């Protein structure tokens, strides 16, 4: 399974766990950032929601944490 397939699997079969864990990881990574996002722009809440690099980082970290649920 590639990354997209694993995400889709977790979203469809373990949606509650996926959403809760992703929200926790999002908040954790958001709080760890200083003034700037990992893409180099100013890290505001609105930017983090729509930033592809930040959300990819959140997805990757969430997948790593939920590896056991394959």
For 42-52, the pLDDT digits (tens) are 999 899 999 99
User: b/e string for 21-54 if b means 16 or more Cβ within 10 A?
Assistant: bbeebbeebeeeeeeebeeeeebeeeebeebeeb
Q: Number of structural domains, the chain?
A: 1
Residue 42 belongs to what domain range? Answer: 37-65
With a cut of 90, say whether residue 62 has pLDDT above it: yes
The set of residues, in sequence order, having a beta carbon less than 8 Å from that of 37 and lying 6+ positions away, is 43, 47, 48, 51, 53, 54
In a domain, 61, yes or no: yes
Res 17 pLDDT > 90 = yes
Residue 23's SS3 state is: helix
pTM: 0.88
Residue 3 placed within a domain = no
User: For the residues 51-58, what does the mean pLDDT come to?
Assistant: 97
Judge whether 17 lies within some domain. Answer: no
pLDDT at 32: 94
């Amino acid at each position: 399974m590639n990354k997209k397939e694993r995400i889709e699997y977790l979203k469809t079969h373990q949606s509650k766990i996926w959403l809760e864990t992703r929200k926790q990881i999002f908040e954790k990574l958001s709080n760890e950032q200083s003034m700037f996002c990992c893409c180099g722009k100013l890290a505001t809440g609105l930017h983090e929601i729509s930033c592809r690099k930040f959300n990819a980082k959140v997805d990757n970290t969430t997948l790593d944490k939920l590896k056991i649920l394959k």
